[in-house]
Amino acid sequence: MIKVRVASRARVAEDIVRLDLVHAEGGELPSFSAGAHVDLFLGNGLTRQYSLCNDPADRDRYRIAVLREPSSRGGSAHVHDTLTEGAVLDISPPRNLFALDETGGEHLLFAGGVGVTPILAMAHRLHALGARFTLHYCARSRSRAAFLDELAAAPFAAAVRLTFDDEPDTRLDLDTALASPTPNRRLYVCGPGGFMRFVTEGAAARGWTPEQIRKEHFAAEASVGENQPFELLIASSGQVVPVPADQTAAQALEAAGVFVLLSCEQGVCGTCLTRVIEGQPDHRDTFQTDAEKATGEQFTPCCSRALGPRLVIDL
């Protein structure tokens, strides 16, 4: 873990706060690649992931931006209410599940709302590489769009396209934006689920292949249908752990004294990924690819369940 200090803090949009984190003992922070995130170990016992949005060439700070979620379970509310200038906390080293394919010939970046955070780091990196790219930034209104001043002053400002729901003249035209899906083009999208579906399904309908599209979720999609109870059999001990309909598998395991490493608790980060020896998971995460889910070899106990009465898991 890395101990950092909040060096500065500012409101960058409605309900969005920006934090600059520096090494608590001075000096440089570990390098990171565009699209990377860090885990924040919050004082209320929660761990949350936030994308790094500054230029990856910066080694003196990490910059994050956090939206206060109305339905926050304590993560974003804690950041907004507690992490003032001077606060000290632990974070993980950066890791990247949303990396740039720097071999691509042209890059289309799509950001929805606070989903601009990893996209902004990508734009800095692509500009440094001299790569061709366009950044489409969409938000409900200008007041809810973070870093507009920074984007306007950026050396790549000419590559930025802004879209706001309350300004019809700025409407995002997917036919134009996603035209000519040639093999050397790459598409990256981050933001709310509905926005991501709009872009990715629009891209697929216009001939973009799954290999050309990269995306990062902030939260798993809400599950549809009624939860059914099931059992978990711990392979190492033979212990059987019932999972009621109103508990997650991770909660049931914890109550039974079985430790599972957790972080996001939404199926986004993959921290709790667990091998399945027998049974068919009901995948509800957004971490695994469709191909990985089809194998049924692993599941995320923080949110996923079972399609049958029992899963045998490698714990």
Q: Which residue has the tokens 């885990």?
A: 39
- The pLDDT value recorded for residue 69 is 83
Mean pLDDT of the region 195-206 = 94
- The pLDDT value recorded for residue 115 is 95
Q: Is residue 166 part of a domain?
A: yes
Q: Do 139 and 87 have their domain in common?
A: no
- The pLDDT value recorded for residue 244 is 94
Can you name the residues that pair with 106 across neighbouring β-strands? 132, 185
- pLDDT: which is higher, 9 or 264: 9
Q: Do 84 and 153 have their domain in common?
A: no
Is the pLDDT at 78 greater than 80? The verdict is yes
Mean pLDDT of the region 10-37 = 96
CATH number of the domain where residue 300 is located: 3.10.20.30
Q: Which domain holds residue 30?
A: 2-91
CATH number of the domain where residue 181 is located: 3.40.50.80
- The pLDDT value recorded for residue 306 is 94
Mean pLDDT of the region 203-223 = 82
Span 219-276, pLDDT tens digits: 555 555 578 999 999 999 999 999 999 999 999 999 999 988 877 777 877 889 999 9
Q: Do 48 and 123 have their domain in common?
A: no
Q: Do 157 and 196 have their domain in common?
A: yes
Q: Which residue has the tokens 């991770």?
A: 250
Is the pLDDT at 12 greater than 90? The verdict is yes
The identity of residue 315, as a single letter, is L
Q: Is residue 96 part of a domain?
A: no
Name which of 255, 259, 260 is nearest 241 in CA terms. 255
CA distance 64 to 75: 14
Q: Is residue 101 part of a domain?
A: no
Domain count across the chain = 3
Q: What is the mean pLDDT of the chain?
A: 92
- pLDDT: which is higher, 117 or 216: 117
Q: Do 274 and 308 have their domain in common?
A: yes
Q: Is residue 142 part of a domain?
A: yes
Q: Is residue 184 part of a domain?
A: yes
* Chain centre to alpha carbon of residue 25: 28
- The pLDDT value recorded for residue 19 is 98
Q: Do 110 and 210 have their domain in common?
A: yes
Which residue, 162, 190, 217, sits at the end of a domain?
217
CA distance 251 to 257: 10
What proportion of the chain, given as a percentage, has pLDDT over 70? 97
Name which of 254, 296, 305, 250 is nearest 276 in CA terms. 296
Lowest pLDDT segment from 170-174, 189-193, 225-229: 225-229
Is the pLDDT at 204 greater than 70? The verdict is yes
CA 96, 102, 103, 105 dihedral sign is positive
Q: Do 180 and 271 have their domain in common?
A: no
Span 133-156, pLDDT tens digits: 999 999 999 999 999 999 999 999
Q: Do 130 and 164 have their domain in common?
A: yes
Which residue, 177, 196, 217, sits at the end of a domain?
217
CATH number of the domain where residue 58 is located: 2.40.30.10
Mean pLDDT of the region 274-300 = 89
Q: Is residue 98 part of a domain?
A: no
Q: Do 19 and 111 have their domain in common?
A: no
Q: Do 10 and 48 have their domain in common?
A: yes
Task: Tell me how far CA of residue 236 lies from CA of 248, 273, 274, 297, 312, in angstroms.
Answer: 21, 17, 13, 17, 10
Mean pLDDT of the region 178-193 = 94
Span 32-75, pLDDT tens digits: 999 999 999 987 778 888 999 999 999 999 999 999 987 666 78
